[in-house]
Every structure is written in C-alpha cells, then in structure tokens.
Chains A and B, each alone.
Chain A
Amino acid sequence: MKILIQISIVLLGLITFIPQDQTKHRATYLSPTHISCDGNSGFVYISLSTAGKIAEVDLNTNQLKRYISLPFNPGGTALSRDTKTLMVADKSPSGHLHFISLQSGDINKRISVGHTPDAIAITPDGKQVFVANRFSNTVSVIDLKTNKIIKNISIDRDPISIAISPAGDYLAVANHIPNAASTDDFVSAKISLIELSSLKVVAHIPLANGSQSIRGVIFSKDGKYLYASHILSRNTLPTTQIEHGWINSNAMSIIRVEDKRYHTSVLLDNFNRGAANPAGMSLSEDGRELFVALSGVNELGIIDLPKLHEKIDQIKTSNPGDSNPEFEDISSDLRFLNGIRKRIPIAGKSPRFVTVCGDKILVSSYFSSDLEILSNSDFGNSENISLGEEPEMSRERRGELLFCQADLCFQDWQSCLSCHPDARSDGLNWDLLNDGAGNPKNNKSMLLAHYTPPAMITGIRKNAETAVRAGMKYILFTEPVESDARDIDAYLKALEAVPSPYLKNGRLSRNAKRGKALFKKADCLRCHTGRYHTNGKKYNVGTGINQHKNNEFDVPGLTEVWRTAPYLYDGRAKTMNEVFSKFNSEDRHGITSTLSDKQIEMLVEYVLSL
C-alpha cells in the first residue's frame, strides 16, 4: 500500500512537470527526422519532430541515453565544433535557433532567425552556422563567436535543405519547389550556390525541366560535384499512364561545382518499379558511396559514385560536342543506373534522413519509433534502436502515412506527396484527363480543400473526397480502398495553415490593413468571402484562353495563398501582383485597374497575409 501511494505520487509529479507541448499537433508521435552525429563519442541526436524532444542515442551501446526536452518541435540540428552545444532550429513562424548545452540539456541561448527555420549547417571550422528559413526564403548566417546574424541571404523559394562543401567554400541550398510561372517552357526548382567567402549567391542553378521537391543536397567528398535528390516530373504529358515514369520519375541530379552548372540527372527508379520521393542523402566516409533515403518506397538507395561518374564521363568524352544525344538521354534512361545503384529495404515507414556516423549508416523514418542502423559491409543485417513508445496510429496519422507512401501506386512510381509536397503544391501545371487532354492546369494545395467544395480548378469534382478517390484511381492507377481514402480525407482535413510570413508579429502589417480595405473596395469580397475566402461558386473572370476562353473557374480559397504561387488556373501569374497588374486589364477579376501601383502592392500584401 505504501509503495502504491509512493508510485502514484511520483507519477502525478511526472505528469505535472513534463513540459507542455506548445505545438498544435497531438505530440505523442515521435516523427524522427534530422540526425546529428558526434563521430568521436559515438553519440547521435535525433530530432523527434512532433514530440518536442531530441533523442540522444549512444552508438557504442546502441541504446537511447536520454531525451532533451524542448518547448518546441525540433527541426534541423548541428553540433558545435567542441561538441558541447547542440544547435536546434524550431520550425516556428517566428523562428529561432536554439543553443542547447549537452551537459545540462538546457537551452542556453536563442537567436531570432526567420520563418520556419529547419535545415541548419555548420562550417567545418565551426565558426559560422547557416539556418535555412523556409518561408522567409532566406538563409541566416550566424557568427558563432558573436552569436549574431551577420547576414540574411535571399535565395529562391522554400529552402528545405542545405549543405556545406567539405572545404567550407560553398553553401548549397535546395529550393524545394520551382519559382516561376508554370506556363514557362522551362520550369525547375533550383539549387542556390553561395560563395562563403563573400556570402553572395553566385548562381541559382536550375536542374532538368520538371524538377521539383528537391529534398536532399550534398557535396561530393572532393567538392567537385553537388548532388540533389528530387522528383523529375514529366508534367508536359497528359496523365494517360504511369509506367516507366510517365508522370513522375525520381532522380538524382549532378551539378559541376566549378562551372556552377547543371550536369545531368540519373533516374533512381527501376524500369518496372519507381523509387518514389527521394529525400535525405549522405556519403560514406570514403566518399565512394552515396546514400539516398527513398521515403515513398521505404528503401535506401546506394549509388557507387566512381562507377557513376565513369559511365557519364565516357558518354561525354565519346562526343564532346555541343550536342550529344546520348548524354542528353541520360535523364530519360531507366536502365542507366543498372549495376551502379542498389536498393535496400528499410524497416521503417517513410525514411527521410540518412546519416553516416563512422562505419554506421543511420536511417530515421518518420512513421517509425526506431532508429535503424545499417552496417556498411552487410546491408542484410540492420539493428533498431527504439526512440520511444508511440500510440497506435490515429486515422489522421494513418492518412498522413498513406499520403506519402507509393504503396498506393501502381509500380511504386509516386505517392500523393509527389505532386503535393507538404500536401500543398509542386508549382507545376499538370494535364489531368478529367477535362480532356491538352489543357494543363496549375497544381492546387490540399489545405482546406475538404472545406471548400467543389474541388479542382474547374470545380469538376464534386468535393475533395471525390477528388481524393479520383486521384487514387486515375493518378496512382490502383483501385482505391475505401478505408485508405477515408484516412487520407481525415489527414487532409486536419491540416492547419502556416501563418503567413507577411504577418508582423502575427498580425496584419500596416500596408496589409490598407490592403484589406482595398480588398473590399475592389469587390474581391463578392467571391472571396467567408472563413476560407471562397463562396464555392464558379465564375468567368476573363482569364480563360484558347480552349478555356469564357470558361468559369471555381473560386479558390485564399488561406495560405502566399505559399502557392504561381497563380490563376494555368499558373501564368508568377506573383500575386501580376494577377492584378498583368492579367486583369478588363477588371473582371476584381476592380483593380483604378488602383495605383502602391495600392496594388498593399492589396497583394493583404492577400498574401491570409
């Protein structure tokens, strides 16, 4: 009895003193992501990105040592040179970089950075740390001596991953999705290359036409090449089929650092089975092997880099002229990596990060509570270290898992995530067949789609539920299983908008307030009204061209519209400004011709604050 009471007291105390989670998620799932490795001590730190903590694991004993509890959900991490401090980004709209003492587990300091800081990287000399602020579209450079930001570098769009060259001379930033009007002939997400001596962007390097969802970026050991993992969409073709990568193929692109130019892309897929959603990458210690987490198929891709470059160089030198068709065909050849790439099954679901620590390859999977350890010499045998307990999956969690798994797709070519990164949009136009072929439309975000029927740009689907099932059938090419579809509905319904980067301290800026008045004045409220800024009806706003002349389009909701450029049904407006300044000459899409340039800017700022 005495013991029982004592235990109860302890339990009560624990419950009371556990730091409250400040995130909106039910933070009982772990969702392991970034891994930082202390090669000397054999300690690794894994961000448990929905659990508000970092797991510290000892590779010498393969055991979880402790949790470092945080008042936020952790994103990227980096160890200080002296390994005493762990820097952690907090993925928050008013983001900070936190400095945690590894001895005490306390946050010593934090520096305000940008909106949703996630990936971070530290220079080899340990003097500077870089933080990619996803929705500020900047990289913050922090001097670790002064612990102050010395510069915020503008990059292209949604920097999701960064890497520093081994010599410390370049920073490469993976811009998640393209930043262009999707009606352009060439649309590609870019790698921003920053020269660290000057902290200037020396190039925004596009990859192959159709590149998007760049998730991983890493330099070769000799710094000559830069590798990026991404989806290579074949979006100029009607979606009549999916085999042989017809809709999406999965690629690794290569940039020649010296030239600051795109070199080529190789397809990670097999001819009869895709390698959906390539994500984080790492190099073996000797730099000869590149590991790519294939998050959609739960595998690790392993590429023999010397063999790869030998094969590419052979083709290049066989015809060094300007036009080398065989070289150009590399990114279309599903057989190119035969004998060069292996695919190893991973036990966890949605492996997104891979880190090499000594002779061990560590893989974290978002929907798994284990850290998987593969040995470099024997991939058949892997060990798992439990990072904690997780409750049974809720319907929303299961839906989130299904959304990013190619399991639902014929031959594993893609998952829903492939076109809808973060359940939003890839910034491309797609020629879906629901309204015939030859009329591509801009991709739409899934956020709040279930609350704003009808669905699709033309409103052709009665509601988002119908669109989800149509997507499974006509874009993933398998017969939808109703319980899967319901889980995905639940996940999408539970999505929450990220606060706009245009807000100032969570509130409309002065200009945005003025823009709000203009929004009313320009008659935008007639259609863009209500909680989600749409009255759910269809209108011809004079934007239709060619076969869409005089077409009506479904009024899109405007929540998070700051995030889903380009705009209009075919994505021809690269910016919101262009919607009014370039594509509304007849005032059919709101009365904006009478607004001055400044007023349009204010209107735009308001809309982008939603």
Chain B
Amino acid sequence: MKKSLRFVITLLILTSIALLSMTGFDKDRPIEESDSLDFSTLVLVERHAIKSTHVYTYHEEDNKPGGGLYTYHIKSKSLKKILDSKHGLILDANLHYDGHTILFSWKKDMSGYFQLYTIDINGDNLKQISDHPSNNFNACWLPNNQITFLSDRKPAFAYCWSTTTPILYKCNSDGSQQTRLSANYLNDFTPAVMEDGRILYSRWEYVDRPAIPIQSLWSINPDGTKLAGVFGNRVLSPATFMDARPIPESGGKILCVLTSHNRHCHGAIGIIDPGIGSNTQEAINNITPEINIGFVSKGDGNRIHGPYVNPYPLDNKSYLVSKDGDIQIRTYDNSQISELIKGMGIDSLGFYSPQPIRQRQKERLVSSSLPEEQNLSDEQEGEWAEIQMMDVYNGLPKSIERGSIKKLAIVQEIEKPLGIDPALRAFGFQFPVVSAGATYAPKKVWGFATVEEDGSARFKVPARQPIYFLPLDKNGMAVQRMRTFTHLMPGEVQGCVGCHADRNYVVQANKKSPMAISREAEQLTEPEWGVTGFSYTQLVQPIFDKHCIKCHGRHDPAGGLELTGDKTDFFNMSYENLVRKGTPSVDFLNGNGPGSFDNKYTKWIPTYNGQEANILRIEPGEWGAKASLLGQIVESGHSNKEGRSRITLSRDEKLKIFLWMDLNVPYYAGSNSNYQSNRGCRQQIPKDFITIFEDVTARRCVSCHKHNNNKSVFSYPNQFALRVENPELNPIFLAPLNPEDGGSGKCEVIVFKDTMDQDYVRLLKTFDHLNKMLAIMPRMDMISQQ
C-alpha cells in the first residue's frame, strides 16, 4: 500500500477513536476511564458506618473512632491519607469551589463534640473553625465563602427521643459571626447549595402530625430569609429525603437519599423533580429500584432498607455514592455502575462522602434584603419580622366564603429544652406529656392580626421562632390548619400569596393593591392572657368552673359528663372526659390501639405512630373547634329543647375554648416539670397505691370481676383517669361502697359496708402522702402561675 494511503488510513482511525471518546460514555468502557471525566482524584472520608437508631441521631449514637481523611487517585487506585483519625471520628467532608480546601466535621476525641475544620487536599494547613461546646457538623461552603452548618448549641431535644436537635447555622470561613438561620425545634439535615444560590436542606417536623414520616426538602436563602418547602412535606413514604444535592443542568432536579425514620441514614437513592409536583409520586425517581420505597400516600415510610448514602452528582449523567462504605460511580439510568474502592463493610471501616477534586463555579450570590445595620449573630429579645399576606382565600377551597375570615392567630410551637429518658414515654412518645396523644408540642399564641375584607393582612411576627397561622372566622374558630411552620429573620419582610395550597405554583393574580398593604404593619393584638404557653388549667378550666360545673359536677353530672378540674394522674377530669375518654388514648401507655379517635366532644388530630394517614386529610373543617360538638355547644350557648341558652360565655371565653381545640388540645403549657422521672414526667400515683390496690381487689373484687383486662378498672397501671384530688370519688371507692354511705351502687353488691372499712381506709390513705407532697412540690398544672 502506498505510504501516503497508509498514513491517511491511520490518521482516520486515530481521529475516529478521538471523536468516539469525546462523545460521552462508551458503554464498553468503565465510566472512570472515560475521557469525559473532568477529575482524576476523589476526597474520601474513612470511618465506621454510623448505625444510629434514627436518621436524626447520627451525631450522637453509634459513633466509633477510627479512619481518616483521604484522597484517592482513581486510575492508579492509590489511596493517600491526609489526616488520621484513629482516636476520633470524621463525619463528612465538603470541598471548596477552589478545589483545594476541604471543610469537614471531626470529633477529634470521642469524649468531645463534632467541630468544623478545614485542611488542604495535600494535608497542610489544618485549621479548627468552630469551638463552641456543642456538636457542629454537616458543613457546606456558600458562594460568598461563608459556611453553613448544623449545630445543637441551642438547648432543644427531640420530643419523641432523647437526642439533641441540631439546626442550621452559618458563619464566616474563619468561624466568626456564627448566626442561627433556622428556628426548627426538631432536626435539620445536610445542607447543600442549589444552582440559584439558595441553601437546600432537609428538616424533620410534626406540627399536629405523627412523628415518623416527614423529613422533607426545604430551601432557605444564605441570610436565613425566604424559607420555602421544596418537596415532600406531605409524602408518607419515603419518610426521609436527606443528603440532598442539586443535579447540575437538570432544570432543578435533586439527588438525595430516600430512607426511613427509625433507622440509620443509608437507604435508596432518588432523583426528585419538584417541577412535577410538591408531593407527587411521579416526582420521585428511585434510581436504586431494588429497594422498595413505598408510596407517597401510604404507610409511614419506615420500611425502607438500603445501603446507599452520601450521593454526589457529578453532572447530569452520573454520580458518586457510598454503598455501605464501598464507593461507586454510577449513571443515573444505571447503565453503568463501577466500583472505585471497597470499604470493609458496614460493620467496620468504610469510605463515605466521596467528592471529585476539581474546581467548580460559584453560584450567583442571592442578595440579602435584611437591614444592614443588624448583627444577626447577636440574638436579641423582641426581634420582629413582617408578613404581607395578599389574599388569605388564595389556596383555600372556594367553599370558604370570602369575608368569612376575620383574624389570624399567630402560634408558636414551643421547643423541648430537656433531655428525658424515652422509657418514660406516655400517650405515644410524649415525655414530657403535653396532651393525650394530640399535640406533641406546647403552644404559645403570640397574638392576632386583622384580615381585611379583601383577605389581605399586614402584620409583625416574632422573628427566629417556629410559627404558624390559624385563620379564624368571626366566632374565633379556625377555618383551616397549617400543620407545618415557618420562621423569619429579624427585619425580614415576607410576602405571601395567601393560605396557599401549593406555594410552588401559584402566582398572585394582578388585582387592586391589597387593602392591608396601604396601611402600616400591625403589631399583633396580644391574647388577653398574655404571650405565654397555652395552659388548659389556667385558661379553659376556669370557664368550665364558672359556667358548667353546676350541671356537670362531680355527682351525677348532666349527660354523664363531669367537667370539674379535679386533678388526675396525668391531667384533670374535664380534660380526661373531653379528650381522652372514648378513644384509644384511654390507654396511656400504648394509646394507639384499635378504635376511632373521633371523640364525641372534641375532634383532635391524633399524632400517634400509625396515624400517619391523617397527614393527607387537608380539607378545611376536618378538625378542631369547627368540627367539634363542644365548639357547637359553646357557640350556640348550649340551647335547651326550647331553644333557650343555658350558658352565656363572653367572646373571650369562647375564643379560649375554640383556640384550645384548634391548637390540638394541649394540656400542659410547657415542657418544664417537677417530676422528670415520673412516667411522662407528669404521672402521679400514690406510692403504695398499686400494691394495696392489687391486694384489696384480689380479695374483694375479682371473685365477681373475673375478666381482668387492660380496659377494666382492675388492671393497673393502665387505668383511665385516676383522680388524685377528691380520690374518694374514684370508681374503686364509689362503686363497692354502700350507697347509704355515699357509694354509687354500681357494683350491685355492697363490698365496703361503710367508709370505715379497713381496706377502704388503707387504700384511700395512700393519697394523703401524695397530696402532701404535691402541696410542697406541685405538678405544673397545679401551680397558679406556670
């Protein structure tokens, strides 16, 4: 063949090879050998898997020392240690835009906390960034060189567990100016930066909802303003979307871990496209389909078991991930899966937080419109923000009549500042108990704002607090329930479309300028009882005492409904009868048995595990004062057959009762307790009562009452409502007692001839000591000023 022809052919072949290799992944070539990869080395964290009991406890549970920070050259498979952590635990790592500086969190020795550090990729320049006596971790660079991270320095604990609740903070790259961005009272997770400059993160919450299934995706601006739900706030399964990062050039798709709640953070990997819907099945693409992630509208999302964690999107085609400590590079369509380096399994050291070492472009910096003079790292008392609501009816069904909403109540979920042993739980997972299986959190009403005729409102709200809004009708009854919360930074001015159905899609229609906007922002009208935790005994019981107990007293109450305030082992009598009676909450330990929670008097939202389906019930008027018999009776004046009112309550008195129902029937006003070692931090039973009770009933009662089950009065400690005030009125005393001596005759035989019966006296006497103790150290509902 002619020399020139041979040359041309060779050239053609070489060109074809070059061209082919430029067209993306070659199916026959492993991804990591592809020429289109723009990096050659990875950052890796080596550590033990953290097999925590929950997705939110990885900062405290199963933390084992060992491992280090590494770089890994893919082609030569050479692993280079840049920092040893034999005695400590490196949790995570994030590489700066400069491709050079690693930001990581490190529990240097196991007796201490996680703190933030930076180090160069060659191991030089190790610097400690944070030193606050708290856990500081999951840090991420911001495009202005600041850092956002999680910290549990604010003393708050999970309601339903014993661990702290780290939330979102930010600081300068040298650790100065640490500023709290989040007002969550439960956990935030794993922040990352979106292409438009917002921070993407996950948050756990349960405002009047069960605790398990909502760990959803949220966004916030780097200055802590413009908090917004991104995806999953009403998705039951998967329970958790976390470890989320934006996929470059994908129109806003997000790569994240999909997993359970009561398990560690490994799970399935999904691509979320919020553009399809905020809670829709179609928006979730499970790219590890061998793992069953359930359905958005079923269950509690708690059955997802997968090995994948720390996914890192490289571009819009492929990503890195750790599979129980083995690092993989995969295409989103699973056409190519390559293992880059193997760990030693989930029960030993493995590799996590894989990231390519390369430079990347900074996102455009979102501007801050907060007043510049503020020093936000210095939290003050009395910080305020402003809400400009355009039209409250926007997002409500058209069945809600325009003009029917008169006010907004601004409510805060009060955090739990105590760590309590979960073994003390009652009414589901309440410790301390706040309600009988309804609201987990105590509530504080900050005040009321006026809603104008056109549905607009403009009012101040407390800043840096987890707050939500209740739209109230002219009677003071809530028209809809928000069941989530928001928070604003001091000086933030937030416009909202209304009582929005799906805030991601609705733009305000152009109408006349809203009435409220042309006036000043209103200071909230404080509640008549002050801005304090809502206490049933302080606010609601006095109304029953004044207007109701004449007929609904201790003896033979009308309708069989006693409304006195006699304290019981957990609550008081009226609360027991209005909330607990007739529902599975009669059983304080389990509380979630079969049976309906559709209580006769008060329709409250049960938050027990297993009740997750109620999260999807969002029609207005499902719960609360509007749906409750008590609400109707109070509003109508409790008319008799002739239509005449039996009671006249003032507007304020009615409002308190309605609010109590719409706040999801809290009993206790806060988490503080003088009895932190008691069941639910509340339960009061006389010391010897149980043993004496068992002895007496064995001898005097069981011969007739042969069936001894949990629902019966003879099986303790699951008895319903043991009265500690006026204990002689408890059924165990009244029913067997001779009617001539004040008994009720319910036993139909006389067991205690009179009140001098020895067993009667012995059992009753046990209350003396208890009441003496309570007089010295009262339970919180027994104090006049809580």
Q: Are B508 and A270 in contact (CB under 8 A)?
A: no
Q: Are B367 and A208 in contact (CB under 8 A)?
A: no
Tell me which residues from 228 to 267 in chain A have a Cβ below 8 Å from any Cβ of chain B.
232-238, 240-241, 243-246, 249, 267
Chain A residues lying within 8 Å of B144, measured Cβ to Cβ, are 479
Q: Are B398 and A272 in contact (CB under 8 A)?
A: no
- Is B495 an interface residue when CB atoms closer than 8 A count as contact? yes
The 0/1 profile, CB within 8 Å of B marked 1, for residues 399-416 of chain A is 000000001001100000
Chain A residues lying within 8 Å of B398, measured Cβ to Cβ, are 325
Given contacts A334-B506, A335-B277, 20 further A-B contacts (CB under 8 A): A208-B510, A234-B507, A237-B517, A238-B517, A244-B504, A244-B505, A246-B507, A272-B251, A272-B252, A273-B251, A332-B507, A332-B508, A338-B275, A438-B519, A440-B513, A477-B366, A477-B367, A478-B366, A479-B366, A480-B367
- Is B420 an interface residue when CB atoms closer than 8 A count as contact? no
**Given A272-B196, A272-B274, A437-B493 in contact, is the A334-B504 Cβ separation under 8 Å?**
yes
Tell me which residues from 142 to 200 in chain B have a Cβ below 8 Å from any Cβ of chain A.
144, 196-197
For residue B135, give the distance in angstroms from its CB to the closest CB of chain A: 31
**Given A209-B511, A249-B507, A440-B513 in contact, is the A270-B275 Cβ separation under 8 Å?**
yes
User: Most B CB atoms within 10 A — which of A208, A233, A477?
Assistant: A477
- Is A473 an interface residue when CB atoms closer than 8 A count as contact? yes
Which chain B residue shows the least CB distance to A246? Answer: B495
Bound-state CA distance A245–B508 (Å) is 8
Q: Are B369 and A474 in contact (CB under 8 A)?
A: yes
Chain A residues lying within 8 Å of B513, measured Cβ to Cβ, are 236-237, 431, 438, 440
Q: Are A267 and B517 in contact (CB under 8 A)?
A: no
Chain A residues lying within 8 Å of B197, measured Cβ to Cβ, are 410, 478
**Given A273-B252, A431-B513, A477-B366 in contact, is the A333-B506 Cβ separation under 8 Å?**
yes
Bound-state CA distance A36–B251 (Å) is 33
- Is A210 an interface residue when CB atoms closer than 8 A count as contact? yes
Q: Are A241 and B494 in contact (CB under 8 A)?
A: yes
Tell me which residues from 343 to 390 in chain B have a Cβ below 8 Å from any Cβ of chain A.
364-367, 369, 388, 390
Bound-state CA distance A235–B390 (Å) is 13
Bound-state CA distance A333–B509 (Å) is 10
Q: Are A438 and B518 in contact (CB under 8 A)?
A: yes
Tell me which residues from 485 to 529 in chain B have a Cβ below 8 Å from any Cβ of chain A.
493-495, 503-514, 517-519
- Is A386 an interface residue when CB atoms closer than 8 A count as contact? no
- Is A433 an interface residue when CB atoms closer than 8 A count as contact? yes
- Is B228 an interface residue when CB atoms closer than 8 A count as contact? yes
- Is A375 an interface residue when CB atoms closer than 8 A count as contact? no
- Is A331 an interface residue when CB atoms closer than 8 A count as contact? yes
14 contacts between A and B (CB under 8 A): A209-B510, A209-B511, A237-B508, A237-B517, A244-B504, A270-B251, A271-B505, A272-B251, A331-B509, A437-B388, A474-B367, A474-B369, A477-B369, A479-B366
Chain B residues lying within 8 Å of A233, measured Cβ to Cβ, are 510
For residue B20, give the distance in angstroms from its CB to the closest CB of chain A: 17
Chain B residues lying within 8 Å of A238, measured Cβ to Cβ, are 388, 493, 495, 517
For residue B552, give the distance in angstroms from its CB to the closest CB of chain A: 45
Bound-state CA distance A238–B517 (Å) is 8
Bound-state CA distance A210–B276 (Å) is 27
**Given A270-B251, A272-B196 in contact, is the A478-B365 Cβ separation under 8 Å?**
yes
**Given A241-B226, A244-B503 in contact, is the A234-B508 Cβ separation under 8 Å?**
yes
Q: Are B495 and A240 in contact (CB under 8 A)?
A: yes
Bound-state CA distance A185–B509 (Å) is 13
Top-4 shortest CB links A-B = A210-B510, A240-B495, A438-B518, A209-B510
Q: Are A335 and B251 in contact (CB under 8 A)?
A: no
Bound-state CA distance A273–B503 (Å) is 15
Bound-state CA distance A82–B252 (Å) is 49
Chain B residues lying within 8 Å of A333, measured Cβ to Cβ, are 505-507
Residues of B within 8 A of A (CB): 144, 196-197, 226, 228, 251-252, 274-277, 364-367, 369, 388, 390, 398, 458, 493-495, 503-514, 517-519
Chain B residues lying within 8 Å of A410, measured Cβ to Cβ, are 196-197, 364, 366-367
Q: Are A235 and B510 in contact (CB under 8 A)?
A: yes
The 0/1 profile, CB within 8 Å of B marked 1, for residues 443-481 of chain A is 000000000000000000000000000001110111110
Q: Are A237 and B495 in contact (CB under 8 A)?
A: yes
Chain A interface extent, by class: 35 or more
- Is A523 an interface residue when CB atoms closer than 8 A count as contact? no
Residues of A within 8 A of B (CB): 185, 208-210, 232-238, 240-241, 243-246, 249, 267, 270-273, 325, 328-329, 331-335, 338, 407, 410-411, 431, 433, 437-440, 472-474, 476-480, 546-547
Q: Are B509 and A328 in contact (CB under 8 A)?
A: yes
Chain A residues lying within 8 Å of B508, measured Cβ to Cβ, are 234, 237, 246, 332
Bound-state CA distance A206–B577 (Å) is 62
Bound-state CA distance A473–B367 (Å) is 6
Q: Are A244 and B507 in contact (CB under 8 A)?
A: yes
Bound-state CA distance A439–B367 (Å) is 23
Chain A residues lying within 8 Å of B252, measured Cβ to Cβ, are 270, 272-273
User: Most B CB atoms within 10 A — which of A240, A246, A328, A480?
Assistant: A240
Chain B residues lying within 8 Å of A328, measured Cβ to Cβ, are 509
Chain A residues lying within 8 Å of B277, measured Cβ to Cβ, are 335
Bound-state CA distance A185–B511 (Å) is 7
Bound-state CA distance A271–B494 (Å) is 18
A237: which of B196, B276, B369, B390 is its contact (CB, 8 Å)?
Answer: B390
For residue B157, give the distance in angstroms from its CB to the closest CB of chain A: 34
Bound-state CA distance A333–B366 (Å) is 25
For residue A399, give the distance in angstroms from its CB to the closest CB of chain B: 18
Q: Are B504 and A271 in contact (CB under 8 A)?
A: yes
Chain B residues lying within 8 Å of A244, measured Cβ to Cβ, are 503-507
Chain A residues lying within 8 Å of B495, measured Cβ to Cβ, are 237-238, 240-241, 246
For residue A274, give the distance in angstroms from its CB to the closest CB of chain B: 11
Chain A residues lying within 8 Å of B519, measured Cβ to Cβ, are 438
Bound-state CA distance A272–B277 (Å) is 12
For residue A206, give the distance in angstroms from its CB to the closest CB of chain B: 12
Q: Are A240 and B367 in contact (CB under 8 A)?
A: no
Bound-state CA distance A249–B494 (Å) is 19
Chain A residues lying within 8 Å of B275, measured Cβ to Cβ, are 270-272, 335, 338
For residue B503, give the distance in angstroms from its CB to the closest CB of chain A: 7
Chain A residues lying within 8 Å of B228, measured Cβ to Cβ, are 243
Chain B residues lying within 8 Å of A440, measured Cβ to Cβ, are 513
Which chain B residue shows the least CB distance to A480? Answer: B367
Chain A residues lying within 8 Å of B505, measured Cβ to Cβ, are 244, 271, 333-335
Which chain B residue shows the least CB distance to A408? Answer: B364
Bound-state CA distance A474–B372 (Å) is 13
Q: Are B367 and A185 in contact (CB under 8 A)?
A: no
Bound-state CA distance A546–B364 (Å) is 40
Q: Are B494 and A332 in contact (CB under 8 A)?
A: no
**Given A185-B512, A438-B519, A474-B369 in contact, is the A240-B494 Cβ separation under 8 Å?**
yes
Bound-state CA distance A329–B510 (Å) is 11
Bound-state CA distance A208–B274 (Å) is 28
Bound-state CA distance A270–B367 (Å) is 21
Bound-state CA distance A310–B510 (Å) is 26
Chain B residues lying within 8 Å of A433, measured Cβ to Cβ, are 369, 493
